[in-house]
Amino acid sequence: MNEVDHFGFNNPKTFKQRYLISDKHWQRDGGSILFYTGNEGDIIWFCNNTGFMWDVAEELKAMLVFAEHRYYGESLPFGPDSFKDSRHLNFLTSEQALADFAELITHLKRTIPGAGDQPVIAIGGSYGGMLAAWFRMKYPHVVVGALAASAPIWQFEDLVPCNVFMKIVSTDFKKSGPNCSESIRRSWDAINRLSNTGSGLQWLTQALHLCSPLTSDDIQHFKEWISETWVNLAMVDYPYESNFLQPLPAWPIKVVCQYLKNPTVSDSLLLENIFQALNIYYNYSGQAKCLNISETATSRLGILGWSYQACTEMVMPFCANGVDDMFEPFLWNLKQFSDECFNQWGVRPRPSWITTLYGGKNISSHSNIIFSNGDLDPWSGGGVTKDISHTLVAITIPEGAHHLDLRANNAYDPASVLLARSLEVRHMKQWIRGFHDNARRQH
**402 labelled catalytic:** yes
Give dist(CA 57, CA 421) in Å, integer: 13
CB atoms within 10 A of CB 364: 11
Catalytic residue, candidates 377, 405, 416, 427: 377
Catalytic residue, candidates 402, 403, 413, 427: 402
Decide: helix, strand or coil at residue 43.
Answer: helix
CB 350 within 8 A of CB 95: no
Catalytic residue, candidates 75, 82, 94, 126: 126
For residue 32, list its beta bridge partners: 62
CB 236 within 8 A of CB 319: no
Give dist(CA 130, CA 379) in Å, integer: 12
CB 311 within 8 A of CB 347: yes
Sign of the dihedral through C-alpha 195, 199, 205, 211: positive
Q: Angle at which helices 219-235 and 267-283 pack, to 10 degrees?
A: 50
**126 labelled catalytic:** yes
Give dist(CA 229, CA 297) in Å, integer: 9
Catalytically annotated residues: 126, 377, 402
